[in-house]
Structure 1
Amino acid sequence: MSHDEPPVLTRVEGRVGHIVLNRPRALNALNHPMVRLVDEALTAWEHDETVRTVVVSGAGERGLCAGGDIRAVRNDIVAGGGAASAAYWRAEYLLDARIAHYPKPYVALMDGYVMGGGVGIAAHGDVRVVTERSRVAMPETIIGFVLDVGASFLLTRAPGELGTHLALTGTTASAADAVLCGLADHYVPSARLAEFTADLADADPADVVPRYAGTAPEGELAAHRAWIDSCYAADSVEEIVDRLQSCGERAAKEAADVLLSRSPTALKVTLAALRRARRLPTLEEALDQEYRVSCACLTAPDFPEGVRAQVVDKDRAPRWSPADLASVTEADVERFFAPCAYGELGLGAGPTEGRLP
């Protein structure tokens, strides 16, 4: 992307409206202006009879989207208390809900990295295509943050406790694992994506997909279902760690080590959010809950500290507060689910329509 190019490119080819996230140097990390531009394109094409399908992709060679611009969010917290970030998340979550209910086929090309906010842009679509290069993850706990962009809704619908494992550890899912967990639908080799996309220009996705979709290379999660389902069914993060450490599987012990390096508060809040999201019947209600929890992170110490350690100073040595699981109380966790200081998202049980803030 040059300085003259917008961060989101749009074009129409045949009957397809293309949205290209265009910040390749930042691995297409999302920010508020990008969310607005995507929404404006969806608005323009929703009632345009010449556009039959929307295809979303990322510029550059590395992926669709590495997530939200967390460095910018941290800067906002440090300088301004986080109000601008709350406004950005409001727009982003409304866009995620809109994508889930968009009236025309929405095809997401999940080639390369698809993380955090990228999952929101892609995984609520109708046709979610992964490749052998796909790396899909919600790695929030590593930066002291929590599930957002509707991921609590998606991951609680994954088989068994796979979603809990992905959410707490931030483990990256391959193409096969993403399909298994319900984050993607179809595997298409990356070398065929251009041809696949070109064929969409004059044909319905339902007719094109079967000509290209195949079997993804074998993933890892299916073989680990037994210990994942057993260990992550526990009611507390402490008990999950205990089960992982004592179950006798090397991969489980490694997962326990990962958890013990993550933000203790983020782990406990994420587990609570997942368990509550299981009882929520709609994506919109899950997004409402996620907005409260995300905004609460703006006034908690671990999120800016996690971003500092991973992205700013890159020392990979966050100083979590509290520093261990036992010191995070139920009251500490409950605070994240309190009414939002920035107002409620208010999606309720219905789809979002129209322009975003």
Structure 2
Amino acid sequence: MDDIHIRTEGRAGRITLTRPDALNALTWDMSLAIEAAIDVWADDDAIELVVIDALGDKAFCAGGDIQDLYDNGTRKNYSYGERFWRDEYRMNAKLFNFPKPVVTFMQGFTMGGGVGVGCHGSHRIVCENSQIAMPEVSIGLVPDVGGSLILARAPGRLGEYIGLTADRLDAGDAIYTGFADYYVPREYWDSLILNLCKTGDWTAVDALAKPHPESRLKGWQTDIDAVFGGETMGDIWRAMPDAPHEAIAHGKKLMQRHSPLSLCATVALIHKVRLADTIEAALDHEFRFTSRGMEHSDFLEGIRAAIIDKDRTPKWRHEDWSAVSGADVLAMSYPTKPPLDLTGAQK
């Protein structure tokens, strides 16, 4: 497959995303290929760890390749999206639960579907130009690919802030909030990967890790925690002061661009996942929304405005968060039939 290069090198299983011109956007076939590889390597005694990287400087993986989702959705082939997300989320769960070290190298943009590949590893590396984000609310979805679990586990209420604003995280922010583990300057990556493949020893990562930059969000946390701790989107909005601190002013400006339904559903999602605290619960709750997203959310309109027409003026189903009812959120969060199966093989 031209989009991804999967092989073994020494003691490592190697996965390289090879679509730099498309910012290594993740296709359905790429998700299936990753799953097939790690299914084999999990039981292969010759493989001691897995290395995942990507070609190019601009992006590790800037998200899922959503053109096919949009095309099928506009044709009312809603089952396409349901099948796509079932397969992608199963791969995400298997990466999260993989029994051997998984070392990921995330340069440039790592967003959406890229988080589901890069941020469920055991040793997650960022560098000088890393930018990580969960931008789903900007296109009418909710944080998914297991990202809601990372948000739920972030310090204080930073998870709510990141999920609701879609703000981008640099290396320091990514490490502080739990999306990454190590800061290794890019100049060391090639030699580190060679060492990992030769030895199969993950401690080589520890040996090269450098002090990471200070986190902007750590400095903002007190103000964010004071506002983003509400039970609902309404609680959060009403907690914003009339003359907000830089953090809250920035977050408020970003949220005003996003789907009101997605914002309200994201608050509920993060709270449910925080209570359950498992990847399986996170993916299940995410799937309840995304599997209905083509038909009942702002997803298709969000893609149209951001990707297809690029007019950046989406016409959301609700005027603002106050027009979204509890029933609207509940309708997107009922259990699915059949339920999401995260343990089986590809069908």
Equivalent residue, structure 1, for 2:237? 241
**Structure 2 unaligned regions, length at least 5:** none
Among 317, 320, 330, the alignment partner of 1:321 is 317
Equivalent residue, structure 2, for 1:114? 110
Work out the number of aligned pairs and report it.
347
Give secondary structure in 2 for the equivalent of 1:20.
strand
Pairwise CA RMSD: 1.5
Amino acid at match of 2:291: C
Q: Counterparts of 2:194 and 2:69 in 1: how far apart (Å)?
A: 37
Deviations 1:268-321 (A, max 9, x none): 001111111111132112211111111121212411001101111111111111
Equivalent residue, structure 1, for 2:63? 67
Amino acid at match of 1:253: A
Give secondary structure in 2 for the equivalent of 1:271.
helix
Amino acid at match of 1:155: L
Give secondary structure in 2 for the equivalent of 1:299.
helix
Q: Counterparts of 1:12 and 1:301 in 2: how far apart (Å)?
A: 41
Does 1:304 pair with 2:300? yes
Does 1:345 pair with 2:340? yes
Give secondary structure in 2 for the equivalent of 1:295.
helix
Q: CA deviation at 1:120?
A: 0.8
**Is the 2:112–2:144 Cα contact (8 Å) retained in structure 1?**
yes
**Is the 2:157–2:224 Cα contact (8 Å) retained in structure 1?**
yes
Amino acid at match of 2:186: S
Equivalent residues in 2 for 1:1-357, closer than 5 Å:
6-246=2-242, 248-340=244-336, 343-347=338-342, 352=343, 355-357=345-347
Q: Counterparts of 2:346 and 2:60 in 1: how far apart (Å)?
A: 22
Q: Counterparts of 1:282 and 1:339 in 2: how far apart (Å)?
A: 17
Give secondary structure in 2 for the equivalent of 1:251.
helix
Amino acid at match of 1:226: T
Deviations 1:224-263 (A, max 9, x none): 0111110001222133223334353133112112112211
Give secondary structure in 1 for the equivalent of 2:57.
coil
TM-score by length of 2: 0.96
Q: Counterparts of 1:151 and 1:281 in 2: how far apart (Å)?
A: 12
Sequence identity (%): 35
**Structure 1 unaligned regions, length at least 5:** none
Amino acid at match of 1:261: R
**Is the 1:132–1:216 Cα contact (8 Å) retained in structure 2?**
no
Q: Counterparts of 1:152 and 1:299 in 2: how far apart (Å)?
A: 22
Q: Counterparts of 2:305 and 2:222 in 1: how far apart (Å)?
A: 34
Q: Counterparts of 1:141 and 1:11 in 2: how far apart (Å)?
A: 35
Q: Counterparts of 2:113 and 2:161 in 1: how far apart (Å)?
A: 19
Q: CA deviation at 1:323?
A: 1.6
Q: CA deviation at 1:81?
A: 2.6
Q: Counterparts of 2:280 and 2:201 in 1: how far apart (Å)?
A: 26
Q: Counterparts of 1:337 and 1:316 in 2: how far apart (Å)?
A: 27
Q: Counterparts of 1:149 and 1:356 in 2: how far apart (Å)?
A: 17
Cα distance 1:228–1:205, how it changes in 2: closer, same or farther (>3 A)? farther
Q: Counterparts of 2:23 and 2:176 in 1: how far apart (Å)?
A: 25
